Amino acid sequence: MQRRRLPIGIQSFRRLRERDCYYVDKTALIGDLIDRGEHYFLSRPRRFGKSLLLDTLGELFAGSEELFRGLHIHDRWDWDEKHPLIRLSFDGNYNEPGDLGSSIHTQLRITERNAGLDPAPDAMKPPDRLRDLLDRLHHQTGRQVVVLVDEYDKPILDVLGDPERAKANRDYLRGFYGVIKGSAEHVRFVFVTGISMFSKVSLFSGLNNLENISLDPQYAAICGYTDEDLDTVFAPELPELDRNEIRSWYNGYHWLGEEKVYNPFDILLLFRSRVFKSHWFETGSPTFLFQVMLEQGVSPLDLENRMAEDDLLSSFDVGEIDADALLFQTGYLTLVGGERRDDRIFYRLDYPNKEVRLSLNNSLLRHVASRRGEAREQGGDLCRLLAENDFDAFADKLRAFFAGVPYQWQTRPELARYEAWYAGMLYACFRTIGVDLRVEESSSRGRSDMVLLHGGQVFVMEFKTAEENEDAEAALDRAIGQIRVRGYADRYRGRGEPIHLVGAVFDRKERNLLAVRAEPA
C-alpha cells in the first residue's frame, strides 16, 4: 500500500479528500444515523474528529458526490436531493458581554451571503435572525435545512471560572437553540457536538428532542480510530513502530461499543514524528479539573477503578459539575466496565491509556507542588530508594516533597480522608514513571492501599493518619498489622520475590509524613 498525506489539523472533508489524505470511512455509520432519526447530540473529548464528522455531514447533504466516490455511502445516497445548510461553530472567545451574540450574528450573516440572501438587519436578535434564516432558506430552495452545531458548549466551558458569565452564556444559548425545535417544519436534520453533556433541563430544554448518542454502542466508533483501522487504512505507517506500544500508549477510549478507539490526533502525530509521547495531552490544560478534584476531595489515588452511577456521567451544569462527569467527558477517564445494582447502573472508570495515566499525574504534581522539581525525577528517586531498601532515605525524600504541597491543599474540609491526598501524591509520583503499580487490590478480607512491583521486589503499602495522642510506632503497628491480618501480601508469595510490608503514617497537625516502617512479609 502507498503512503498518503496525514490529515493533521484538517477538519475539512473536501480538503482531506482532494489532497488524497488518509480517511477512515465513517459513512456507513453516518448513513445509518440519517436513516434512523433527525436530531442528534454527540459528546467526545477535544481533538477527536467531531468537526470533521460535521463537515462530512455537511458535504453529504450538499450533494458533493465527487467527494464520496469509493466510500460506503456513495451508491446508497440520492445525490439529487440537496439541502441548504446552517453551520455554526463556537471556536472564538466569549469572555465579555456581547461576544456570543456578535459571533452568532457574524456566522448567520455569512450563511445569508453564501446563499445569495439579503442580510437581515443587525438589530434583529440572533434567535429571531436564525428563525428568519431557516424560513427563507427553506422557501428559497424548496428543501428543508440541515443545522450543524460544533463546539456548542465552548462559550460556557471557557468561562466556568466566572459563574455569572457562564450562566449568562448558557441562558443565551438555551433561547437560541430553542428556535431550532420551534422551526421544525423548516428543519431536515440537526447534529450538535461538544465536549460536555450539559443537562437538557439547563441548556437544551428548548431542544429536548435531541437524541444523545454519546453512549450508544452502535456509534461508539463514529469518531476515532479502531485497531482494525490502524492495521488496514494506516498499514503503510506501521513499519518500524512497535504495534503493542502503539496500543499501550494510545488505545483505550470506550463508549460501550465492541471496540476501544484511539484519539486520531495522537495517532496522526505519532505517524508524523515517529515518537511516543503525550501528543494529545499537551494540547490542553487540565487546571480547572484539578480545582474540581480539590473541591470535591478526589485524591489521585481514587482515579483508578472509580465507580460512578450512569446519571452522574452526564451530571454537568454551571455550578454543579461532578468530578466524575468532568473526568469522563474531557477524556481523562474512560469506561472500562459496568454493572447493575438493584435498579441502578454503575460504570467503572479508569485511565484510557498510558499517555493519560503518565501525563495527568505529572501535570497534577506540577500543579500541586510546583516548587518541588520535575515529577518524574521525584518518582524515579523514590523508586530507586525503595529498590535499595533505604526506607529511611525514602521517608526523608517523601517528607521533603510533601513539605512543598501548598497549605490550602491540606486544610480543605472536603479532604476528610487526610491520608488519601498524601498517599495520592506518592501514587502520582510513581505513575509518572510508569512502574508496575496496583491500587486497592481486593482480597477476601479487604483492599490494600497500594502495591508496587519494582526491582524484583514487592512493596505492599498501607497509609494511616495518626489518631489523637497516638505515637508514630503505634500507628505504624496498626498499618502493618492490617496488611498482615488481612493477607494483602498473600497473592504475591508465589512470585518468589522479596516482599516488604510498608506502613506510612501521616500527622494531621504537622500536615506531613510522620514515619515510615518496612518489615519482611
Task: Give the range of the structural domain holding residue 370, as residue numbers without chain letter.
Answer: 357-520
DSSP-assigned states of every residue in 484-520: HHTTTTGGGGGG-S-EEEEEEEEETTTTEEEEEEEEE
pLDDT in tens, 2-41: 999 999 999 999 999 999 999 999 999 999 999 999 999 9
Total-model pTM: 0.91
Percentage of the chain modeled with pLDDT above 90: 68
Please check whether residue 244 lies inside any domain of the structure: no
Please check whether residue 321 lies inside any domain of the structure: no
Please check whether residue 446 lies inside any domain of the structure: yes
Please check whether residue 509 lies inside any domain of the structure: yes
Which of 203, 219, 235 is a domain's end point? 219
Q: Which residue has the cell 531498601?
A: 389
Q: How many CB atoms lie within 10 A of CB 331?
A: 21
Residue 420 has pLDDT above 90, yes or no: no
Please check whether residue 69 lies inside any domain of the structure: yes
Residue 215 sits in a domain whose CATH number is 3.40.50
Please check whether residue 348 lies inside any domain of the structure: no
pLDDT in tens, 286-330: 989 998 888 888 888 888 888 898 887 777 888 888 899 999 999
The pLDDT of residue 127 is 94
DSSP state at residue 223: S
Nearest to 352 by CA among 333, 329, 324, 325: 333
Q: Which residue has the cell 489532497?
A: 19
pLDDT in tens, 212-260: 999 999 999 999 999 999 999 999 999 999 999 999 999 999 999 999 9
pLDDT in tens, 426-462: 888 899 888 999 886 666 667 888 999 999 999 999 9
Please check whether residue 172 lies inside any domain of the structure: yes
- pLDDT-wise least confident of 102-111, 127-136, 369-378, 387-396: 369-378
Q: What SS3 state is found at 216? A: coil
Please check whether residue 66 lies inside any domain of the structure: yes
Amino acid in position 433: I
pLDDT band of residue 372 (cuts 50, 70, 90) is: very low
Which of 183, 201, 219 is a domain's end point? 219
How many domains is the chain partitioned into structurally?
Answer: 2
The pLDDT of residue 453 is 96
pLDDT in tens, 142-194: 999 999 999 999 999 989 889 899 999 999 998 898 899 899 999 999 999 99
Which of 219, 234, 252 is a domain's end point? 219
DSSP-assigned states of every residue in 394-414: HHHHHHHHHTTS-GGGTS-TT
Q: How many CA atoms lie within 13 A of 318 on its CB side?
A: 22
DSSP-assigned states of every residue in 38-90: SEEEEE--TTSSHHHHHHHHHHHHTT-GGGGTTSTTGGGS-TT----EEEEE-
Beta pairing, strands 436-439 & 334-341: unpaired
What are the backbone dihedrals phi and psi of residue 148, each rounded to the nearest 5 degrees, phi first? -120, 125
